Structure 1
């Protein structure tokens, strides 16, 4: 019995020791939050084109193109540059048998004397950018024939003339994951006085697609395929003259 009492007493002392030690294992907890910051800016000066100057489309270190007219900095959203369409000059008698004329490739840096900007041919293209701060970059890129081909001296028009853009494709030098879906780009379209506007891109913009700088190209210089064609109907008489048209490209936030 004495031994039993001693064992019981020892057990009680041990249990008491555990109970007394338990509070000492609980530590105080304290938290404090810090901050993180990063900022980005967009150059909105329309005269400063250093960040938007056109280069060989889709080439990361592509050659700068210095002779595209009217290059502008659109800020966070807009059109940067458009290559002018040149259908060349032809003998008026060719119109008896020829009614389709292909636009030449754009002659980048034509007549250059600067080795840093060598001359080369490039497919016709429209360069634009969308750098808006938003999750869904929805937009529409459209071409409109705002003035039909008209002779400068007489004002006579090439009635029924129309321009067909073919093999439309997008290039960029950013992350390919942000390129608009192929289903959002129409590869061929025609503009005329009867149907002046055509939508080439209707970007849905989900998951950031469409963010960045892009070129909408017509054809590819490597294939040699001139993918913009002017058609003048056989019913339109063609006299000697210089005929000029105006094509207005629009980048719109609404689909």
Structure 2
């Protein structure tokens, strides 16, 4: 599974101090001295590298992720981390209408013998910490490699042509602001994601919000109803598609973050 993001150069915000001579004749308010100047300069943000934590309230526990997550250094703008999608091996290959399958929860640190395993909804983590006046952007997803397997002694490739993904029960949560006042409030789209076609999942158009680090989570851990995180990432397969049992299928989905005008 690949992860991409478009980077924007960090701006340098500077307030240049100019020394101004205040003549003795300037009168202050009664009991107050004349106003004095003050100077401050901000350096360009550089980001803090890749993410590696799960926080409380969104899974079975909290702590440091040492394995399982796909991460990249997005700097001050871009997708920082995604959970790989695992649909498991217990899916029925029977034909019929309405063929769909749900992704399992994300398992961090799940290697054999692990004592710090954590389970959470699948999510996408992103950041916009540019020193800009406006913070409008979109996050898109597309299937960049269709699910496929090889069959027979000749290793013939077979694809799940036309399969689509839907991300349900989406919500955005701030990783930096406990009050969520800067969190994007736009709806997380459930539009089907297809092969080779970027689909907007989040379109953030409020220029005054959206700065910081955020997680876009799909579903609620252990909800036990239609909003459950194990009912929130849906793979739809055409009724006429032939499925091969005991064969593992592998594909890729790519997430991108782009500035909106």
The equivalent of 1:253 in structure 2 is: 259
Deviations 1:42-88 (A, max 9, x none): 3358xx43xx32423777x9422222343122111011111000011
The equivalent of 1:188 in structure 2 is: 190
| RMSD, aligned α-carbons | 2.7
Q: 1: distance between equivalents of 2:102 and 2:170?
A: 15
**Which of 18, 24, 29 is matched with 2:26 structurally?**
29
Q: 2: distance between equivalents of 1:146 and 1:230?
A: 15
More helix by share: 1
Shift of 1:101: 1.1
Deviations 1:152-184 (A, max 9, x none): 543210122111110111012333110112xx2
Which protein shows a greater Rg? 1
Mapping of residues 82-97 of structure 1, within 5 Å? 82-90=82-90, 94-96=93-95
Q: 1: distance between equivalents of 2:140 and 2:111?
A: 32
- Paired residues in the alignment total 217
Deviations 1:180-227 (A, max 9, x none): 12xx2334221123x7332111111322x1100011111111414120
> Aligned pair in 2 of structure 1 residues 101, 132: CA closer, same or farther (>3 Å)?
same
The equivalent of 2:207 in structure 1 is: 206
Q: 1: distance between equivalents of 2:53 and 2:197?
A: 27
Shift of 1:245: 1.3
Contact between 1:146 and 1:248, CA under 8 Å: does it hold in 2?
Answer: yes
Q: 2: distance between equivalents of 1:58 and 1:130?
A: 23
Higher alpha-carbon deviation: 146-155 or 128-137: 146-155
TM-score normalised to the size of structure 2?
0.73
Q: 1: distance between equivalents of 2:62 and 2:39?
A: 36
Higher alpha-carbon deviation: 151-160 or 216-225: 151-160
Contact between 1:57 and 1:172, CA under 8 Å: does it hold in 2?
Answer: no
**Which of 235, 238, 244 is matched with 2:240 structurally?**
235
The equivalent of 1:8 in structure 2 is: none
Any gaps of 5 or more consecutive residues in structure 2? 1-23, 28-33
Q: 2: distance between equivalents of 1:110 and 1:148?
A: 26
TM-score normalised to the size of structure 1?
0.74
Mapping of residues 50-89 of structure 1, within 5 Å? 52-56=51-55, 62-89=62-89
The equivalent of 2:46 in structure 1 is: 43
Shift of 1:133: 0.4
Q: 1: distance between equivalents of 2:200 and 2:140?
A: 4
Q: 2: distance between equivalents of 1:189 and 1:148?
A: 18
Any gaps of 5 or more consecutive residues in structure 1? 1-26
Contact between 2:53 and 2:62, CA under 8 Å: does it hold in 1?
Answer: no
